[in-house]
Amino acid sequence: MSSSYAPMSFHLETERLILRPWAASDADGLYALHTERGGDPASLERAREVIARGLSTAAATGIALLPICRRAEGDFIGYCGLTVGRSTLDEPEIAYELFQRVHGNGYATEAARAVLDAAVATGRRRLWSTVRTWNTASFRVLDKIGFERDHVTADDRGELVWLTRTLP
């Protein structure tokens, strides 16, 4: 997969957070996040596979979902970044997932702002996000970083709201 855009920076820093490339040592944390999420059965092996696939996808596409660590505590609290997802490499999706214990502290918004800036630096002109109708927290994060609802589609899991933001 190739793109006419510059590769995204895989090292982002904010006031409270550091986003950096995945390391093998993140597998335990990602496994815990998968376990908390429920759904597909989580395993340490699957977390390792997701990390390995993420690294090769990042190398091939120049975009990535990056682990988020808190500067003060030094702990892994989730991930945020760009992914093709349901969209395209030219107009990728912004995505994020954090442990419940850290929700409501503005971390997703802070990480997403840094990812937005990183997307601008690649030369991209538009981002997307797809959100389930019940996901109030995700809509609020996207609202805070300037996304607007565009259209709604449906799949076997129900309705999906597509939000978009043009980049300067």
Ligand X SMILES: CC(C)(COP(=O)(O)OP(=O)(O)OC[C@H]1O[C@@H](n2cnc3c(N)ncnc32)[C@H](O)[C@@H]1OP(=O)(O)O)[C@@H](O)C(=O)NCCC(=O)NCCS
Residue numbers at the binding site for ligand X (CB under 6 A): 96-98, 103-109, 131, 135-138, 140-141
Identify which of residues 27 and 80 has a Cβ nearer to ligand X in the complex: 80
Q: How far is the CB of 97 from ligand X (least distance, A)?
A: 4
Q: How far is the CB of 141 from ligand X (least distance, A)?
A: 5
Identify which of residues 4 and 72 has a Cβ nearer to ligand X in the complex: 72
Identify which of residues 22 and 96 has a Cβ nearer to ligand X in the complex: 96
CA–CA separation, 132 and 74 (whole Å):
31
CA–CA separation, 126 and 44 (whole Å):
35
Q: How far is the CB of 4 from ligand X (least distance, A)?
A: 27
> What H or E segment, with its residue span, contains residue 127?
strand 126-132
CA–CA separation, 153 and 162 (whole Å):
8
CA–CA separation, 56 and 133 (whole Å):
32
For the chain, the straight-line distance linking the first and the last C-alpha, in angstroms and rounded, comes to 25
Q: How far is the CB of 6 from ligand X (least distance, A)?
A: 26
Identify which of residues 24 and 75 has a Cβ nearer to ligand X in the complex: 75
Q: How far is the CB of 127 from ligand X (least distance, A)?
A: 13
Beta bridge partner(s), residue 136? none
Identify which of residues 62 and 78 has a Cβ nearer to ligand X in the complex: 78
CA–CA separation, 166 and 29 (whole Å):
33
Look at residue 154 and give its three-state secondary structure. Answer: strand
Tokens for 53, please give them. Answer: 């696939």
